[in-house]
Amino acid sequence: MNAALISDIERLVACESPSGDLAAVARSAEVVAEVGAGRLGVEAERIVVEGRTHLRWRFGGRPRVLVLGHHDTVWPIGSLERRPFEVRDGVLRGPGCFDMKAGLVMAFHAIAALDDRSGVTLLVTGDEEPGSPTSRTLIEDEARRCAAVLVLEAAGPGGALKTERKGVSRYEVRVTGRASHAGLDPEKGVNAALEAAHQLLAVAALGDGGTTVTPTTLTAGTTVNTVPAEAVFEVDVRAWTEAEQRRVHSAMLALRPRLDGAVVEVVGGPNRPPLEAGSSRDLFALACRVAGRTLASAAVGGASDGNLTAGVGVPTLDGLGAVGGGAHAADEHVVVAELPGRTGLLTGLLACLLERNQDFRSVRPDQIADAAVWNHPWRD
């Protein structure tokens, strides 16, 4: 199995797909569609939204399970020349291999191994990295049709499944003051930079426990001898619960100027809801039963499309993809030895979820139609 998995991963990695390059994403979609069709024996449906290409496979019957991934990456064209695909000492490297082209290949192989795929939908989007602006509705609609969602994002540390993800909110704080000459009559101005400093401190103080509220980019002023008339800064918020998202949102909208004559405007809000522990609990327990052991789990600050599916109330388990590390970094890599077992685990999990007339929250190993599922290498 390893050779076939590695060969398919190489084909995907060799086609660079930075999110911001629509032509590159379209080329990548064709390669992904070709590899997927080769393994699944069925052509993908191309869904183009605002020039961005997404792929969908639906396998008959009543929808039960959505398998979710993306083929866009953060790596610009030319990254492959600097960091070429390679497999050395049991480690596979190449831009986008871990996040998350290996996960896509695992999905193809896992679904292909099923005796009956009826009820599976596989959705591969092309804009996850910038926040799924054109695929969000598609993802949420597909999720609502299903009883469960399995996300092939890369595994957490040590191969952990991701059972919680923080929700994300984004804001832009715009401050308007009044310009004046900094030497001749500074008192006639209203310093937008100084007002922004007050607001930055107020925003940063909204963090509480596991909730992070982080001012990020900041711009102010025009010239060194002019009192700034405008300032803008952005804020990244991460929270484990929707209640915390709402608390911070209310506080952000309640910001008021500290300097006479200044105006403060806040735009933005929640971008992705949290993937809370309750959304993944039953699926994680099922994965442990499939594996025959207690698997590792992780709660992470980064968001994925799993946040969206959990946000519409569909049970979601994330981090089912490759084991490795270095997402978005020069050390991005995949541990080759883990690929067959992780792929087998996904096959077994799908087999459980596809059992007719079964509630996946209570299914037992002896209720699985294909007993061979329970003898895959991941049990070792």
Query: Which of these is catalytic: 16, 72, 129, 195?
Result: 72
pLDDT at 209: 82
- Half-sphere exposure in the Cβ direction for 14 (13 Å, CA): 10
Q: Is 72 a catalytic residue?
A: yes
Domains of the chain, by residue range, sit at 2-165+275-379, 167-272
pLDDT at 286: 96
Q: Which two tokens stand for residue 171?
A: 């804001």
Lateral strand order in the sheet of 333-335: 86-88, 91-93, 333-335, 324-325
Q: Which residue is catalytic, options 128, 142, 244, 305?
A: 128
52 contact partners, CB below 8 Å, separation of at least 6: 22, 25, 126, 127, 134, 135
Return the bridge partners of 134, or none: none
pTM of the model as a whole: 0.89
Strand partners, 67: 122, 150
Please state the CATH superfamily assignment of the domain spanning residues 2-165+275-379 in this structure: Zn peptidases (3.40.630.10)
Three-state secondary structure call for residue 270 = strand
Q: What is the pLDDT along the chain (380 residues), one digit of tens a residue?
A: 689 999 999 999 999 999 999 999 999 999 999 999 999 999 999 999 999 999 999 998 889 999 999 999 999 999 999 999 999 999 999 999 999 999 999 999 999 999 999 999 999 999 999 999 999 999 999 999 999 999 999 999 999 999 999 999 999 999 999 999 999 999 999 999 999 999 999 999 999 989 999 999 999 999 999 999 999 999 999 999 999 999 999 999 999 999 999 999 999 999 999 999 999 999 999 999 999 999 999 999 999 999 999 999 999 999 999 999 999 999 999 999 999 999 999 999 999 999 854 565 554 444 443 333 333 333 32
pLDDT score for 346: 98
Q: Has 338 been annotated as catalytic?
A: no
pLDDT for 174: 98
Class of domain 167-272: alpha beta
